Amino acid sequence: MSAVAALRPGRSVTVKVPATTANLGPGFDTLGLALALYDELTVTVREQPGATVDVIGVGAGEVPTDESNLVVTAIAHTFAHYGLELPGLDLVARNSIPHGRGMGSSGAAIVSGIVAAKGLLEGIVDIDSTALLALATEMEGHPDNVAPALFGGLTIAWVTPEGPQHKRLMVHRGVSPLVFVPEHVMSTALARSLQPQSVPHEDAVFNVSRSALLIAALIQSPELLLAATEDKLHQNYRASAMPETNRLIALLRENGFPAVVSGAGPSILVLASDPGQRIPAAELVASASDTRWQALMLAVDFKGATVSVADALVG
């Protein structure tokens, strides 16, 4: 079946996808949290083949605006997975998620494309949550960012022989994320290259205990977040690549703020136990650093990716 024949030119979908922060300290490649900062995407079917992308906001003038754009690649990947031909597309991407800062921008782009494809294919193919996660993980390589981007809230992600799996949890209402975003970027590939293939047994046990505690802290006991965000598995190994991030995290933690690297960095995540903790944390960073760090006081997103379809299929 040809999706081009089944889709009317002018059919349009609008997608909204949250930023994410992964690892959360000890939960390396496993835990992720959706944040109330969004990329919005509108995709419209056109008669001419190919794709064009109009980027507004973050990434404008920097990311590709043709078929090589990651969002278009994700749409094409989804259509190809179901053996369908990709129609001509016009995309408008309104981006707010910082790129290369450890806030899940690539995961959000992938999820945007896959969820847009789901909307475009409504009535042709039923793409359920399991398939969405599998497709996104295929492209991203690991599910820790794409799971919260898709489903919202706090997610635990793991991989089985049958494919990636997730469990979504609600976060205690006191948990108040604060993200410090620097002007410089960090390559996820570089950050991962600094990770050793094996770690000491006692460090592994340490992280197992803290990861278990972190789940309890995030859903029930936020007062435990400082202890629960301790990590010996990945942050120390990557510290040399982002010394200012490492220095400010140490300073924040010395002052009682549960600070960790956001994803692969270089942004810093503070998981405050109540909203009032965030202002003194922001003041501390502002007074302690000679470089500019944007302080984003964000809510937890509980919806994940959403899609609305503007018109109907041709009968």
Annotated binding site: 98-108
Residue 147 near residue 32 (C-beta atoms within 8 A): yes
Q: Which residues are annotated as a binding site for ATP?
A: 98-108
Give the single-character DSSP code of 47.
S
Cα distance between residue 29 and residue 297, in whole Å: 24
What are residue 314's phi and psi, to 5 degrees?
-70, 135
For residue 144, give the nearest of 10, 64, 237, 29 by alpha carbon.
29
42, β-bridge pairs: 14, 92
- Spatial distance between the Cα atoms of 65 and 56, rounded to a whole number of angstroms: 11
297-to-10, 16, 210, 237, 279 alpha-carbon distances in Å: 38, 20, 25, 28, 9
